[in-house]
Structure 1
Amino acid sequence: MTGARPALSRSLRLMGLAITLSAASLLASAPASARGPDGIADIAEKVIDAVVNISTSQTVEAKGGDRGAMPQLPPGSPFEEFFDDFFKNRRGGGPKGGGDKNSDMQPRKTNSLGSGFIVDTSGIVVTNNHVIADADEINVIMNDGTKIKAELVGVDKKTDIAVLKFKPVKPLIAVKFGDSDKLRLGEWVIAIGNPFSLGGSVTAGIVSARNRDISQGPYDNYIQTDASINRGNSGGPLFNLDGDVVGVNTLIISPTGGSIGLGFAVPSKTVAGVVDQLRQFGELRRGWLGVRIQQVTDEIAESLNIKPARGALVAGVDEKGPAKPAGIEPGDVVVKFDGKDVKDPKDLSRVVADTAVGKEVDVVIIRKGAEETRKVTLGRLEDNDKTQQASAKAKEEPAEKPVTQKALGLDLATLSKDLRGKYKIKESVKGVVITGVDGTSDAAEKRLSAGDVIVEVAQEAVSNAADIKKRVDQLKKDGKKSVLLLVANGDGELRFVALSVQ
């Protein structure tokens, strides 16, 4: 019996080896499907010639003491760090005061590379604005290495999109835009571009998220992907498995400067509209509603009898804007615009911007708990418009003793000439001024401060501190949990704040 143990032990070891080999063979076959769909190579081959490199040069003023002619390498080039260290050491190792002082201040050229793609065989290219910004010269480099000078058609800084044109020297291949709204989470996508100046590179990944707002601009609506995107990929296309462009690779989030699987692309639905306008007008002509909006929080929704919390709260209306004659007022909540649901302020900003200037649209608002529809003829958003500040001096007013009250953790006073001067409040601002805030109150948490002016309480105008105290007491009796305040700063900029009355 004792002699059987080694044999049994040997048998168990062999069985274990067989199980291990079997598992290994299964694992070896798994990565073939894990790497992605088989069609990636076919798609890449089909569209690669429509993806181009964008080369730019810019003349900049040299800084004093910047000696030597360091080669102008594209940012992120594999040799950039080597040459940077070499020339820093060379500049630091020379004799003090050596060299031609005048030559230190000579202008020099800097070069950079990005990506782009052809959308029209006549020579129309789409890229990022930041790829070509401030460039003195722009060149398109084809996949076969052909270099052609390009001209700028137009840019849109808000979406970071630019359109170029060049004269083809041979027949081109163009790609078309797909429908980014149909993208699903987990769907495979392909990024092609010029990372680290290495030329056309293909990477694949999935759609990690949609409608991503990362606070880069007013119309943030990024596609997030884990397809490898690095420096130099900017302006390159993001393809779906039909070979259609569903996004323009624009930026990454990375502590190291390299890809960590957090890449962002402007969706094709946004890009296609921008490209059409830039080709037609050379600029963007966005719709304008003429309102200032803010988020509808749960507290604000409760104060306005809106369930569930949704829409964009109108905090202010431009006196010369399209919303004013349509009867839209501060306190209204926009829940639908031109047939499209508005879930939050970003939704409204994007849909208004995408709507044609001069179009009459239905705007559904909630006012005092009831839905109303207003017809608005959109104006055009002017990026350079500046609000004119009133400069007329106010008439002399006799000094008056402020009437003060305490409510909602606030010290409140009726506006007077002395208080306007103390808190620099414009004459056009009407209401009740806050002169103090209890640091432990809900008001302090909502960042109300001395000098803010309460214009309305529960959507009714107030002119003295006693009004606020009476209305808050009445809301408590009515069982309300919160009160909605319309608050202005000294310049008259409005916002809504909901405070607990319990």
Structure 2
Amino acid sequence: MKKILTLVFVSALGGLLTLGGYKLFVEDTQSEITAEQPNSQLPIYVPTSSTNALLKEDERPDLITAAEKTIDAVVHVKNTQINRRPQTWEDIFSNRRVERKQLAGAGSGVIISPDGHIVTNNHVISGAVEISVTLNNNRTYMAKLVGTDEKNDIALLKIDSDEDLPFVTFGDSDATRIGEWVLAVGNPFNLTSTVTAGIISAKSRDLPGGRGQSFIQTDAAVNPGNSGGALVNVNGELVGINTAITSQTGSYIGYSFAVPSNIARKIIEDIMEYGDVQDGILGVNGLALNSEAAKQLDIDETEGFYVSSVESESGAEVAGITEGDIIRRLDNVEINKFSDLSGYLKTKSPSDIVSVEILRDGDIKTIPVILKKRESLYVEFMDIQFRDIPQKAKDKYDALSGGGVVITENKNSFLYRDVGLRRNFVITGINDIQIKNLDDIKAMKEKFGDNYSKEIKKLEFLDDNLQRKEILFR
């Protein structure tokens, strides 16, 4: 018993000594460290969610107003197609249908008028037999396809409503600036009424295979389902139609691209008035200048669009633009690359007058050019776009002296992939009939129309080495 009492006493004494030591030495030391912390070299961490608190109220972008103006005017577009499967004996005996309607895809659209006109991407509604549109208030309408422009990936829809619908007004996409705040509004992954924010990262951006597109590039998050949705500025004005992303995974990784509103608006106005797009053609060919191009051309200029040839009877030729001129501006738009040139011209119509600023022999000249209609310079037949051979090329190469038509674009997958017809090939004969110019192609188009695949048995052409070849179709 005496040993136990001794053990308890020693334990209690040890505890008292420990507590006293803590009070005397440790607690005083910690108080000194705390008092000195503001003057120490240790970093002070601020949560990222509180960063905006450092901005003054008038410095914050007003994204709420833009979102409220837009969200009710952005709709969910659904594409229904016919799914066909091979017919079996059981299907035949039971008289069972092998066709059924199936939802093929979904995207977004933007109401641009109170009477129900909606702009979206062509790829959102391509191949549809039915198009349904769901508003932000969950009402669903069947939409009519008014028209499309496959090249610029724009389509116009129309729904009928008993009341005026909320809509977004067009803004001036040319007036947008790099670094400007924008909102992307759409329906990614079927998540309706989704708003993301970012800035304009670049303008007049072309993508591989874009065929001279001129996109607005942003870092606003855009994913599958956003296609056809709105890109709006802080005023809630439509400055672009969200169209594409660059991704190795199929989802957003930092960059998204929108058709500028000025291009979309011009396309929509043409479809509503003419039923198709009326392109205004300047009539020049060439390349964007940079250090490498300037070295090849033996010139000092590294900015602008170098004119290597001018289309015969085009507005540029009539106005006096010649080979070797360097286009610096169209109206007030600076031209540094081909997408600057093509993007601005897509906002123009035939007969519009464009002020072209050129550099010629060291002097700046401004020349007014009347744009021509595409059909006066090009003809589309067999899903191929043709133009006349420039007279300069005829004078230079004997093989071209007999005439023909030059392929400028081939969208016929069979003739491109299997036959090998490429850009700058020259068609000289069809079915043993000599082709000298566009008038001969127009005559073939009127004769065969859409039945050309059944009627054309022979093609004669010159390849890019001006070697004569012919193809027989059986």
Please tell me the TM-score bracket, short chain as reference.
0.5 to 0.7
In structure 2, the gaps of 5 or more residues are 1-19, 390-395, 404-462, 468-474
Residue correspondence of structure 1 range 193-208 to structure 2 within 5 A: 193-208=186-201
2:336 counterpart of 1:343? yes
CA contact (8 A) 2:145 2:158 kept: yes
Number of aligned positions between the proteins: 370
Query: Which of residues 109, 117, 121 in structure 1 aligns to 2:101?
Result: 109
In the TM superposition, what whole-angstrom CA distance separates every residue of 1:367-414 from its partner, at most 9, and x where no partner exists? 454555555332112475333789xxxxxxxxxxxxxxxxxxxxxxxx
2:7 counterpart of 1:7? no
CA contact (8 A) 1:314 1:331 kept: yes
In structure 1, the gaps of 5 or more residues are 66-97, 391-414, 430-487, 493-502
Distance 2:106 2:41 in 1: 49
CA contact (8 A) 1:196 1:230 kept: yes
Distance 2:280 2:387 in 1: 21
CA contact (8 A) 1:158 1:219 kept: no
Aligned counterpart, 1:333: 326
Residue 58 of structure 1 aligns with an amino acid whose one-letter code is Q
**Larger helix proportion of the pair:** 2
CA contact (8 A) 2:289 2:336 kept: no
Q: Which moved more, 1:219-228 or 1:37-46?
A: 37-46
Aligned counterpart, 1:61: 84
Aligned counterpart, 2:51: 30
Aligned counterpart, 1:291: 284
Residue correspondence of structure 1 range 29-428 to structure 2 within 5 A: 29-30=50-51, 37=60, 39-62=62-85, 106-111=98-103, 112-298=105-291, 301=294, 307-338=300-331, 340-371=333-364, 374-382=367-375, 384-385=379-380, 386-387=385-386, 426=400
2:462 counterpart of 1:490? no
- The structure that has the greater radius of gyration is 2
CA contact (8 A) 1:295 1:345 kept: yes
Aligned counterpart, 1:89: none
State the shift of 1:287 in Å: 0.8
CA contact (8 A) 1:218 1:349 kept: no
Q: CA RMSD in A?
A: 4.0
CA contact (8 A) 1:62 1:105 kept: no
Label 1:173 to 1:283 Cα distance change in 2 as closer, same or farther (>3 A). same
In the TM superposition, what whole-angstrom CA distance separates every residue of 1:407-442 from its partner, at most 9, and x where no partner exists? xxxxxxxx99xxx9xxxx65569xxxxxxxxxxxxx
SS in 1 for 2:317: coil
Distance 2:43 2:115 in 1: 57
Distance 1:321 1:27 in 2: 57
CA contact (8 A) 2:133 2:140 kept: yes
Q: Which moved more, 1:111-120 or 1:288-297?
A: 288-297
Residue 99 of structure 2 aligns with an amino acid whose one-letter code is P
In the TM superposition, what whole-angstrom CA distance separates every residue of 1:274-319 from its partner, at most 9, and x where no partner exists? 2222222222111112222222343654687754323222223333
Q: Which moved more, 1:350-359 or 1:252-261?
A: 350-359
User: How much identity, in percent, do the aligned residues show?
Assistant: 36
Q: TM-score, normalised by structure 1?
A: 0.63
CA contact (8 A) 2:214 2:340 kept: no
